[in-house]
């Protein structure tokens, strides 16, 4: 569950936004602004997350019910908005630094 959310918010959504900004603007100052926005999102999201619950990450051994060889499936739980924002902020910062380096190399 958390792996798919990480892939979605950190790699796909943040990477697309940072990549589109880098391709359209091709400006180091704009990329630095994107990194700043990413840090701001991390600060805002980090305050609201607190701790990640084990029910968000997945099923623990105690909660998995094995009855006569069958696994009782529990309905999937969605990730809270603060955690989505935290993953997105991480992706924006990481991709923003990479975009800053690439845009700097392309302008030289």
- Tell me if 84 is assigned to some domain: yes
The whole-number pLDDT of residue 9 equals: 94
Does the structure show a pLDDT above 50 at 10?
A: yes
- Tell me if 9 is assigned to some domain: yes
Q: Could you tell me the residue range of the domain that residue 91 belongs to?
A: 2-49+79-107
- Number of separate domains in the chain: 1
Cα 7 from Cα 13, distance rounded (Å): 9
- Tell me if 64 is assigned to some domain: no
The whole-number pLDDT of residue 54 equals: 45
92's CB contacts (< 8 A; 6+ apart) are 14, 17, 18, 34, 35, 37, 38, 41
User: Rounded mean pLDDT of the chain?
Assistant: 80
pLDDT, mean of residues 70-95: 81
- Tell me if 20 is assigned to some domain: yes
- Tell me if 43 is assigned to some domain: yes
- Tell me if 68 is assigned to some domain: no
The whole-number pLDDT of residue 8 equals: 93
Whether the model pTM is above 0.75? no
pLDDT: which is higher, 71 or 34: 34
């Amino acid at each position: 569950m958390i792996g798919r959310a990480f892939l979605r918010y950190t790699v796909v959504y943040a990477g697309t936004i940072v990549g589109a900004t880098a391709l359209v603007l091709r400006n180091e100052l704009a990329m630095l602004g994107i990194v700043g926005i990413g840090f701001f999102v991390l600060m805002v999201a980090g305050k609201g997350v607190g701790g990640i619950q084990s029910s968000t990450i997945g099923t623990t051994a105690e909660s998995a019910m094995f009855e006569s060889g069958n696994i009782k499936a529990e309905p999937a739980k969605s990730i809270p908005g603060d955690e989505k924002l935290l993953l997105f902020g991480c992706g924006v910062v990481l991709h923003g630094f990479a975009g800053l380096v690439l845009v700097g190399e392309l302008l030289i």
